[in-house]
């Protein structure tokens, strides 16, 4: 019987259906830990018995694949596959699948919540009131302000709709989306540097550069409109976090709300922990019961298809 090794603790947390799909197909689901992601050493030790992997943010490297001689498919429990060496998988004839669109609405809604929280200091007020204070914190209204969306795929387009409902003006940067499509969703196409100069708030929805170079390095952060808000609910590595902390400290950047970081969990000495006007959350934008059920079922179904000798519906090319 084939074995499906599951390394992410959030798989099927809100629905039994993904487990049922695997079990009914005889795909032998195995999850050694339920509370945390599987550490690399344990992942390597269990890999030899895996015919399929269902993973979260785990680094799935060529080393992991070579430790799994029976491996026939790698499934990302989510959308972004930047933690999987897709080229190495293809070189070994191992298909990689994901769950496109399964968490788009969850992430877009959460992103707009981060923007509201950063603009109006909601978490700072909560912290102060819970500690016995009663501050009156001022922040800008979003109506009439310009939101710059970097990456205009499913999530960026949903976010654009929420922002339009608040009366915001929209700029969008995405070199892979035709300008006509950007305009059809109510946004003005813009080069990245022009967007950063004009936007009152910037939201990131793009994968990181494989080289590890931050999309928003110190120079680009410094070029942002004074007082602008930065939101990142996409991936760590997109922002020079030390530079962001410095520019928050100087007041050049008005506020920042981040759900993704270069190192996770966030280290105790991370500079953003002490930076002012920040909202920091634990990479949970996709954590809704609806998204969890959808992504779990999608990847389980594709795993079963591949193990049965079929073609997946959601391959990563």
Residue 136's region, left for phi above 0, alpha for psi from -120 to 50, else beta, is beta
Catalytic residue selected from 264, 273, 274, 290: 264
- Verify whether residue 235 is a known catalytic residue: yes
The helix (H) or strand (E) run that includes residue 20 is helix 17-24
Q: CA of 253: how far to CAs of 122, 230, 245, 277, 281, in Å?
A: 17, 8, 9, 9, 19
- Verify whether residue 46 is a known catalytic residue: no
Q: Tokens for 164?
A: 């339009």
Distance (Å, whole) CA 241 – CA 77: 26
Distance (Å, whole) CA 116 – CA 111: 9
Catalytic residue selected from 77, 157, 173, 283: 283
Q: Tokens for 153?
A: 């795929």
**How would you class 303 by CB atoms within 10 Å of its CB: exposed for 0-12, middle for 13-18, buried for 19 or more?**
buried
Catalytic residue selected from 154, 173, 235, 305: 235
- Verify whether residue 188 is a known catalytic residue: no
Distance (Å, whole) CA 110 – CA 155: 10
Strand partners, 146: 169
Return the ∠ at Cα 190 (arms to 188 and 196), rounded to 5°: 115
Distance (Å, whole) CA 172 – CA 189: 5
Active site residues: 235, 264, 283
């Amino acid at each position: 019987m084939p074995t499906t090794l599951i390394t992410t603790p959030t798989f099927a947390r809100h629905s039994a259906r993904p487990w049922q799909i695997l079990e009914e197909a005889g795909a032998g689901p195995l999850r050694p830990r339920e509370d945390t992601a599987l550490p690399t050493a344990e992942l390597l030790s269990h890999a030899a018995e895996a015919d399929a992997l269902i993973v979260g943010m785990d680094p799935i490297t060529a080393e992991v694949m070579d430790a799994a001689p029976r491996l026939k498919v790698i499934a990302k429990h989510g959308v972004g596959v930047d933690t999987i060496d897709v080229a190495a998988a293809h070189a070994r004839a191992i298909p990689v699948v994901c769950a496109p669109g399964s968490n788009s609405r969850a992430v877009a809604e959460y992103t707009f919540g981060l923007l509201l929280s950063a603009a109006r200091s909601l978490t700072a007020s909560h912290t102060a009131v819970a500690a016995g204070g009663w501050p009156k914190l001022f922040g800008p209204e979003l109506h009439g302000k310009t939101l710059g969306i970097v990456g205009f795929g499913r999530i960026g387009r949903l976010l654009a709709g929420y922002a339009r409902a608040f009366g915001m003006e929209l700029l969008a940067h995405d070199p892979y989306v035709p300008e006509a499509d950007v305009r059809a969703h109510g946004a003005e196409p813009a080069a990245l540097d022009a967007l950063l100069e004009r936007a009152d708030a910037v939201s990131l929805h793009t994968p990181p550069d494989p080289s590890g170079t931050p999309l928003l390095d110190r120079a680009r952060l410094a070029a942002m409109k004074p007082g602008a808000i930065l939101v990142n609910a996409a991936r760590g590595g997109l922002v020079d976090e030390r530079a962001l902390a410095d520019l928050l400290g100087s007041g050049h950047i008005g506020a920042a709300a981040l759900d993704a970081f270069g190192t996770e969990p966030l280290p105790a000495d991370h500079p953003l922990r002490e930076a002012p006007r920040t909202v920091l959350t634990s990479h949970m934008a996709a954590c809704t019961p609806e998204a969890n059920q959808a992504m779990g079922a999608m990847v389980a179904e594709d795993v079963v298809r591949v193990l049965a000798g079929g073609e997946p519906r959601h391959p990563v090319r």
